[in-house]
Amino acid sequence: MNRSFLFVPADSERKLQKAGDVGADALILDLEDSVAPDARPDARAMAAEYIPGKPDVWVRINPLDAVDSAADLEAVMPSSPAGIVLPKPRNGADVAELSRRIDELEQCHGIPPGRTGIIALCTEVPEALLTLHSYIGATPRLSGLSWGAEDLSVAVGASANRDERGEWLPLFQMARNLCLLTASAVEVAAIDTVYTDFRDDEGLLRYAANARRDGFSGMLAIHPGQVEAINAAFVPSTAEVEHAERVVAAFDANPGAGTIGMDGKMLDRPHLVQAQRILALAKRTNS
């Protein structure tokens, strides 16, 4: 399970060169908002050249309704990226439409069918927030959902998306929660959004720790300096692992018991499932 996804503007030779060395679990080469329209043809070519032979490189294309998206896909699909990140989808049908376009390009370029994944940024347009159930069963290519506050703020005309303490305002909390809930319902990775203050290390540590606490399995990054903190945040702490081991041991020692007491607290089945999940996560990130 990928913990950190580092955005890299695909028109920057320098950033592309650096990106592979910073320890991100995955990269997202951006062809959308961080690249000026005039620079897109070059960015496409640079992305296509960068991808071959690298395992976890994704590409953020332009929105499906923009003409650019077809050129983006045609340029990068021959290089067989790990997947496509789709900005501003309105619903699951848009994601299914992207999947159909990828079907054709996989076939055309001799890529095994279904190999290319999709991560959808599922809260960027207002309509998307009203139809998130449409992601259920939309396409087996979907492997993650993430969300964004910036485009949504512009769309609704909000002048801020965080309060003076840096906490999400209610609309954006709702978007974040719906992304998490939808990812869980569809059984794909829930990836928290970018922390844009890339010099605020303490704020990032707090944000990423809360993201894991809330149920996200990873987070987007915009700067190499954010990657280490994100990777560390999405691994269970030693204390969590020890507690989970004790919970599992307590149930093992009481076979047939539905509920038991430990440290003065009631434990029942959801606690066992949660403990097993933490142990599986710790094992996966150690291997």
Q: Which residues bind Mg ion (CB under 5 A)?
A: 33, 151
d(CA 73, CA 105): 8
**Residue 20 sits in the site that holds ligand COA (CB under 6 A):** no
To the nearest whole angstrom, how small is the minimum distance from the Cβ of residue 250 to Mg ion? Answer: 47
Q: Among residues 139 and 231, whose Cβ is nearest to ligand COA?
A: 231
Q: Where does this chain touch ligand COA (CB under 6 A) — which range of 3-11, 43-51, 204-212, 273-281?
A: 3-11
Closest CB 110 distance from Mg ion, rounded Å: 32
Q: Which amino acid is at 145?
A: L
Distance of CA 89 to the CA centre of its chain: 15
* CA distances (Å), origin 117, targets 28, 57, 68, 101, 178: 12, 11, 20, 12, 21
Q: For residues 193 and 152, what is the distance between their CA atoms, to the nearest angstrom?
A: 13
Q: Does 34 bind ligand COA (CB under 6 A)?
A: yes
**Helical pair 269-286 and 238-253, crossing angle rounded to 10 deg:** 130
* Among 4, 11, 19, 48, interactor with ligand COA by CB under 6 A: 19
Q: Which does 106 bind (CB under 5 to 8 A by kind): Mg ion, ligand COA, none?
A: none
Cβ-based nearer residue to ligand COA, 139 or 161:
161
Rank residues 126 and 224 by Cβ distance to ligand COA and give the closer one: 224
15 binds, among ligand COA, Mg ion, none (CB under 5 to 8 A by kind): ligand COA
Q: Which residue is nearest to Mg ion (CB)?
A: 33
Contact 113, 104 (CB under 8 A): no
Our finding on whether 33 is near ligand COA (CB under 6 A) is yes
Residue 14 interacting with ligand COA (CB under 6 A)? yes
* Strand runs labelled E in the chain: 4-9, 26-30, 57-60, 83-86, 117-121, 142-146, 189-192, 218-221, 260-262, 265-267
DSSP state of 66: S
Q: Please, which residue, 34 or 131, has the CB nearer to ligand COA?
A: 34
**What residues between 178 and 237 interact with ligand COA by CB under 6 A?**
194, 198, 222-224
Q: Answer with the entry of ligand COA, Mg ion, none that 18 interacts with (C-beta below 5 to 8 A by kind).
A: ligand COA
Task: Name residue 146's beta-bridge partners.
Answer: 121, 191
Q: Which does 151 bind (CB under 5 to 8 A by kind): Mg ion, ligand COA, none?
A: Mg ion
Ranked by CB distance to ligand COA, the top (closest) residue is 7
8 close to 222: Cβ distance less than 8 angstroms: no
Pick the closest to residue 94 from 116, 72, 48, 127 (CA basis). Answer: 127
Residue 253: is it exposed, middle or buried by C-beta count within 10 angstroms (0-12/13-18/19+)?
exposed
Residue of 2, 5, 8, 275 that binds ligand COA (CB under 6 A):
8
Of 46 and 194, nearer to ligand COA (C-beta) is: 194
Q: Which residues bind ligand COA (CB under 6 A)?
A: 6-9, 14-15, 18-19, 30, 33-34, 194, 198, 222-224
